[in-house]
A and B are shown apart, each in its own frame.
Chain A
Amino acid sequence: MLSRVAESLYWMSRYIERAASVGRCVDVNLHLLLDLPDLFEGQWDAVVKITGDSAAFNRRYGAADADAQSAVQFRAFDKLVDTMLGELDANAQNVIQFLAFDRENPNSIASCVATARENARSVREIISSEAWEELNVFYLNVTSPDTRQRALSNPAEFFRGVRRAGHAIAGVMIETMSREEAWHFSRMGRLLERADQTTRILDLKYFLLLPGARAVGTAVDDIHWMAILRSAGAFEMYRKVYGRVAAARIVRFLVLDTQFPRSVRYCVNNAESSLRAITGTPHKSFRNPAERGLGRLASELDYTEAQEVIGSGLHQFLDEVQAKLNKTGDSIFQTFFAG
């Protein structure tokens, strides 16, 4: 397979996954806002932090929760009124604009989908025409001005559409592409992006707690955790396995589970098998830096316990995993695309 084509497939899938993940995250937090308007302080700031670049957001729209400290009660009242009127507060509108539509933000849904499509356009003879068509329709939809207007008045429907489009594209590819190189490069991109997104979503908890850690062990704490599970698309599957919400179990589920398709370990393991399907190198050995880095991370996750992660600091652990994923991305570039 052409190096350029392999790279385009990899990035196409990464950006589709990223768009879907950002969409899910914003959607969940919009729901949270409607459930708990007065307990919502700091939430948007955290969402912007994990999904994008909060400095860029602040430059463009002012701080996400600028009035949080001074006017919590007034805001709660305003929000109640707004909610009754069926409108979003300015903050939420800004966040939706920034994370969903702002083309200056390279990680907004619209930017991700446009980048994915640009990559797909250069490989459209490689992916199936059905997959191309799904992505093209997604792009036409997300970039149309009508969609933007409708999203601000009915965000739930918009984000449902984003999730569905992400699933549709992945599903069409699963159903239509031979399990050959093109498929494995694209799957590897999707899984590495997903692993990264899951660590970011889990890190949301860290940013939420920053203001004073006062909510630990309360009902609010539970609601935060549930929001995190939902943002990771994990709530229903978590419930089936563990039932009650508890921090250590959530970490175990989102980081270490071997069966849940969005857990970091699942993603890393399967990305590794795609990598080895491409190179033909047997497991437990390596011939290039990409295999070495990804194999090492996979082994580490195989022998890690949730309590250990929490004990030594979840945020720091997630930070390290992210750094290793980045490094793996670099070595994939060096091994396959730089040629």
Chain B
Amino acid sequence: MKFHSYETGEFFDEMFYPGGAVRPEAKTLFDRIQGLGEGDLAERQKGAERALVRMGITFNVYGGDEGDERIFPFDLVPRIVSAQEWERLERGLQQRIRALNLFLDDIYHEQKIVRDRVVPRELIASAAGYRPACMGLDPPGAVWCHITGTDLVRGKDGVIYVLEDNLRCPSGVSYVIENRTIMKETFPQVFSGLPIRAVDDYAGRLLTMLEEVAPADRANPEVAVLTPGIYNSAYFEHSFLAREMGVELVEGRDLTVAGGGVHMRTSKGLQRVDVIYRRIDDDFLDPNVFRSDSMLGVPGLMEAYRSGRVTLVNAPGTGVADDKAIYAYVPEIVKYYLAEEPIIPNVPTYLCQRDSDRRYVLDNIAKLVVKPANESGGYGLLIGPHASAAELEEFKRRVETNPRNYIAQPTLALSRVPTLIADRFEGRHVDLRPYILYGKEIYVLPGGLTRVALRKGSLVVNSSQGGGSKDTWVLAR
């Protein structure tokens, strides 16, 4: 297995400098791979995939049969992040989360940022994730976004940008931990030769954070993970996290509100729950307050939350801060609340609601990526350079009909990592989703989910769109 025919092309390559020299942080891995026999890596790759099937590490495909479970494709060549680069990213992410959390607390209280005309009022009111029902709420420690998975991308210029803030129910962290387990089994020698920072204490950190944000009067708080059930695409992760933390995994039907508190139905009667790490959307949390047809939630949950008898993680209403139109204002938000310059820049963003921006977008749509403001998972977006004339026309029409719901960004030439395709290496585009926990303080897991677009030339890394994942090695020095 050799790299001699590998081309970095015109892209930033995470393993090689332009011209083909190995980056210093990737040298040990490079040597190890060069030392493997022909077909060895492909064999290990197959072994890794078999292990995923055996362990049942699968996600359910929406719209498929009940039993339609697939593994999230996994590539053995990791993405390596140098200690120096990570130190900056960690500070940048902490800064961004601190600011976004202050923004959320402000939006659901006095809305000073609106009064000071930093963020337009109508943008808040029209955000799909804005929840008027959350006005005046005081979550413990004033923390709203306890768990965040921020999507980072590196452009051709080598700069790392924030692409999206996922402040609702970001998923994927279980793959970070499982990928690492498989990598250790596959490349034990490389691990012993490199100072790779560990990721397996994530569940312990998560549990500590959840206990820290419990209602103040609960001495030994009972934590539970709330899942929509086994047919949810992320069910494996819900169950994984509950098992790793040693807490109950509950469905809405297992919970009931009685005497103002939330309780689980157990074989020995009702048992109080103090902190709920909920993996269901705001809309489905409580049919009394949000969607009345929700079968997944718990009637009365919001009332118990409002009265401080249970903590919801993340807090309801955080979606307002990861609306893609609000995203464009995050640099201003950072400056407004922290009086600091953002450490990690945003991708330049055109808000179709602004007349001048919209004119630019309509004139240059073939060069741009157009995204709906409230979708995630790579659904409903247009990649101009890869789109047909009919698709471009269709998106122009959508932008003109509903400008609030669209933003546009230049098409980024995402950086690439060598990826095993059949039996050779080819460059494939990647992003990086680090996970950030916010309890008493802000913790960034040293690593994250590197998602890779496995289709040649594709820029879409989502698992629902042909994406896979890689391990992410953050070096300690």
Contact = CB atoms under 8 A, between A and B. Distances in A.
A181 interface: yes
Interface stretch (B53-61, B74-82, B286-294, B392-400): B53-61
15 contacts: A1-B267, A2-B250, A2-B264, A2-B265, A2-B266, A2-B267, A3-B267, A4-B253, A4-B265, A114-B67, A122-B229, A126-B243, A133-B55, A133-B56, A137-B54
A121 B55 CA distance: 12
Contacts, number: 57
Contact of B251 (A4, A129, A185): A4
B240 to A, nearest CB: 7
A121 B240 CA distance: 11
A122 B266 CA distance: 15
Nearest to B67: A114
B242 interface: yes
Interface of A, secondary structure class, is helix
B243 A125 contact: yes
A213 B268 CA distance: 51
Contact of B230 (A118, A129, A132): A118
B230 A336 contact: no
B265 A136 contact: no
B265 A121 contact: no
Give the residue among B250, B253, B266 with the most A Cβ atoms within 10 A.
Answer: B266
A273 to B, nearest CB: 17
Interface string B243-271: 10000111101100000000011111000
A199 B266 CA distance: 32
Contact of A129 (B55, B266, B268): B55
Interface in B44-98: 53-56, 67
B101 interface: no
Contacts of A278: 267
Contact of A336 (B56, B240, B250, B267): B267
A134 to B, nearest CB: 10
A124 interface: yes
A6 interface: yes
Contact of B56 (A4, A122, A132, A181): A132
Interface in A1-20: 1-6
Given A2-B254, A132-B56, A121 B249 contact: no
A124 B265 contact: no
A339 interface: yes
Interface of A: 1-6, 114, 118, 121-122, 124-126, 129, 132-133, 136-137, 140, 181, 185, 278, 336-337, 339
Contact of B243 (A124, A133, A185): A124
Interface string B208-251: 00000000000000000000011000010001101100001111
B248 A2 contact: yes
Nearest to B56: A136
Contacts of B55: 129, 133, 136
A122 B230 contact: yes
Nearest to A139: B56
| 3 nearest CB pairs, A to B | A125-B243, A125-B242, A136-B56
A126 B240 CA distance: 10
Give the residue among B67, B229, B249, B267 with the most A Cβ atoms within 10 A.
Answer: B267
Nearest to B270: A339
A339 B265 contact: yes
Nearest to B244: A125
A254 B53 CA distance: 40
Given A6-B267, A129-B55, 10 more contacts: A2-B267, A3-B254, A4-B253, A5-B248, A118-B230, A121-B239, A122-B230, A124-B239, A140-B53, A140-B54
B230 A121 contact: yes
Contacts of B253: 4
B265 A3 contact: yes
B54 A129 contact: no
A122 B230 CA distance: 6
Contacts of B268: 1
B344 to A, nearest CB: 35
A339 B254 CA distance: 10
Contacts of B266: 1-3, 6
A185 B267 CA distance: 10
Contacts of A121: 56, 230, 235, 239
A123 to B, nearest CB: 8
A125 B236 CA distance: 10
Nearest to A181: B267
Interface in B291-315: none
Contacts of B230: 118, 121-122
